[in-house]
Chains A and B, each alone.
Chain A
Amino acid sequence: MNPCYYACYIVYKVIVYDIIFYPPVYQFLIIPGLITAIIVAIFILWFERKAAAYVQMRYGPWEIAPRIGGAIQLLADLTRYAMQEIITPQTVDTLQYLLAPIVMVVLALLPLEAVPLTSVKPYFPIPSGYSLLVAVAFATLSPLFITMMGWASNNKFSITGSVRESFMITSYELISVLGLLTAAAMTRSYDLVKIVNLQMSGKWLGLINPIALFVVFIAVLMSTSGFPFEIPESESELVAGPFTEYSGLLYGLNMGGAYIRRWVFSILITLVFLGGWAPYRPTPGVITGYFIPSLIVSLKAVVIMGIMSFLRSVYGRYRLDQALGIAWEILIPLALLAFGIGLAEAYFGII
């Protein structure tokens, strides 16, 4: 064999199999990580604005690319954010102020390192035994830094916004954690691979236990400040909530952070309640065993994101105490009920 050809083959193999499809890199950066998250954010933000525009009798994004309905609007916005000067006001705590958004985005992507996206063992980023628990635990980390942003900004809007954010987080993380762990009670396992494999027959947990799915859906919407629970960033009251003082790329990161968190939760919901890569059965091989199932999971998650963003045009904003009331008085009992139903279903062998 030609040694040059062989060397090229080695390099190709290293790049494709050991770098691109090396699970931690692949999941963190490619699918469903950073790159996919950005593409999804571009699509979802466009969809959100177009859907709202349709209801509100206007065009929405248009001028930037009239032939495709302005679909790359967010790309233009991102470019602008990237080019803008990052202003650090004199009244802020510089280190925390600069660090918080970056750490938040990185931590927001972290749960993707814990979820298996295929049932083929070599492509697990971490051993999948407790993957659900680890992913949920990671998912609760990044909101802390939103609170930190508000505190470091030293501004009345930021502080009020971050206080609201922490209120919302304490109530709704609990619900989403409870709702997601219902699956563990139903399947007697924290292993996401096992949970997905159980759903292969079409008995998706979301169909068997729709209350849990509903509870998690609302909780995710609330904890990532989507409409109608866009309380921390309520524009007409708090300018941009915790992100008021930010500009340029850091502001872009902040805005993207909420979408990334919602994206990660959508992936988790897909895996836990909507059958993950079902009905596809992964087979060994990088394309059939890793690429295709991760794409299926991502597509299902995009649908969830789309449903979440459509609510914008219909609802207004809840008041903080009403939103918290919904959490503690309605959703937590519902989550407990869903947990009970899940246990009962597991006991009677429906799963």
Chain B
Amino acid sequence: MEVSTSNSRGIHLPGMEIAKASKNRYEVMIGPAHPGSGHMRIFVEVDGDIMVKVDPDIGFVHRTMEKLAEGRDWIQNIPLFERIAILDACNITLPYVRAVEKLLGIEAPERARYLRTLLCEINRVASHLYGMGIFGVFLGHSTLYMWGFGDREVFIDLAERLTGARLTHTYPVFGGVRRDIPDDFPEDARKATRYMRKRLNEYAKIFLNNPNIRSRLENVGVLTKNQAAELGLVGPNIRASGIKYDVRLNEPYEAYGDVDFEIPVFEEGDSLARAWARVEEIRQSLNIIDQVVTWLERNPRENFMHEKFWKTAPKLYKDVYEGKISYSPKYRIKLMPIFASLKVPPGKSFARVEAGRGEIVYYVESDGKNLPYRVRVVSPSFRNVIAFKYVMPGHRLMDLPAIYGSFDYFPPAFDR
């Protein structure tokens, strides 16, 4: 139904107007180009100030990743899938690598597993800090935004020291990782974790225990245990609702079986609990980073790549790594040539890991060629986005950002 508006020229921009849905109900479209919605649209039906119906409409940044993957070499798909959630690149590509490794019938050597765990946790901290920063902006708390993004830089630098790239690391590759840690990395990592532990207390002071923020978040967007299980949510969101589900715990991969960590679980299920879950998870990640770094220091620097691939490496590459030639910046890190023409044996495989926002699942099918036959991705944001539909109704329109931010959504991740 067209609602007459007060404009004299008879021009209408439907998306920019508030349309009448039924008696006393109006439809407001939030997004897709909106400072508070990210790249998605939410249809909201409001009755006064109360949201009655909320419908997230995803697909605005859909990039046909799964189809693109069918036209690229196996190794080329890793940088492609990083673009799903670029700030969590290692976690997002790791299950693809693991699934292909299953098809190849190889397993990464122990040192590579620890190195992967290290980058995963660095990514997780950076990703959570990013989410917290955005959450701060939603609540008009610019300090948290600046702190989150500023402190994230510490971990991005750490990742850069480890991999050579700030965000698009392409670090885990089939059979191992691209390179080993630099010699002075453990010191840097310990410094970063020490700093971050101190900062987390300050975060709690200015944000999570701030009475003004607490009144915005407490008992807002409550997701009960049953509801969370029924909707099939994942990640910190479900752990904030009292369900102890974490792939790192339920199905340990890489080095998670060997390191010591806890899964923080909260019972309240409201926005505040979801924010706390992230803070506590950062704390656990810092512990894991410390442990992994210690392990890497104590164990000899060898075998970060599976023997099958390592033996095809150029001689110079091997010599530099074995210390026969001292390293110089003119030696560019290159991948083993075998990856360019890698053919994966036919079969189907499946792998999952716990990314920053929750469980990410890859299903990979090969028909024995140098391209994948099918890659299916189920990203954590895709599984979490449905919660908006059930959590938001009944709240006020101004609660939308508070709930939205607390789920740490990432539109490019659910659109793929």
Contact = CB atoms under 8 A, between A and B. Distances in A.
Given A236-B401, A237-B36, A91 B142 contact: no
Nearest to B405: A236
Given A90-B11, A316-B212, A319-B215, 7 more contacts: A52-B142, A93-B6, A230-B140, A236-B138, A313-B143, A316-B140, A317-B216
B398 A236 contact: no
A47 to B, nearest CB: 15
Given A234-B140, A236-B36, A58 B16 contact: no
Contacts of B141: 315-317
Given A156-B16, A237-B400, A319-B396, A55 B143 contact: yes
B270 to A, nearest CB: 14
B396 A321 contact: yes
Contacts of A319: 215-216, 396, 398-399, 402
A90 B9 contact: yes
Nearest to B141: A316
B9 A56 contact: no
A58 B143 CA distance: 10
Interface string B25-42: 000110000111000000
Contacts of B398: 231, 234, 237, 319-321
Contact of A154 (B7, B144, B207): B7
Contacts of B7: 91-93, 154
Interface string B161-201: 00000000000000000000000000000000000000000
A228 interface: yes
Nearest to A245: B16
A317 B5 CA distance: 31
Interface string A325-348: 000000000000000000000000
Contacts of B17: 154-156
A52 B136 CA distance: 14
Contacts of B396: 319-321
Contacts of A94: 8
Interface in B4-63: 5-9, 11-13, 16-18, 28-29, 34-36, 49
B257 interface: no
Contacts of A156: 16-18, 28-29
A273 interface: no
Interface in A42-62: 52, 55-58
Contact of A58 (B36, B137, B150): B150
A314 interface: yes
Interface string A48-78: 0000100111100000000000000000000
Interface in B116-166: 136-144, 146-147, 150
A160 B136 CA distance: 22
Contacts of A239: 34-35
B206 A237 contact: no
B342 interface: no
7 contacts: A91-B13, A155-B17, A159-B18, A314-B143, A316-B210, A316-B216, A319-B402
B213 interface: yes
A227 interface: yes
A57 B146 contact: yes
Contacts of B206: 314
A29 B320 CA distance: 74
B140 A228 contact: yes
B212 A91 contact: no
A315 B209 CA distance: 11
Nearest to A321: B396
Contacts of B400: 237
Interface in B302-333: none
Contacts of A151: 6
A90 B11 CA distance: 7
A321 B401 CA distance: 15
Contact of A91 (B11, B138, B402): B11
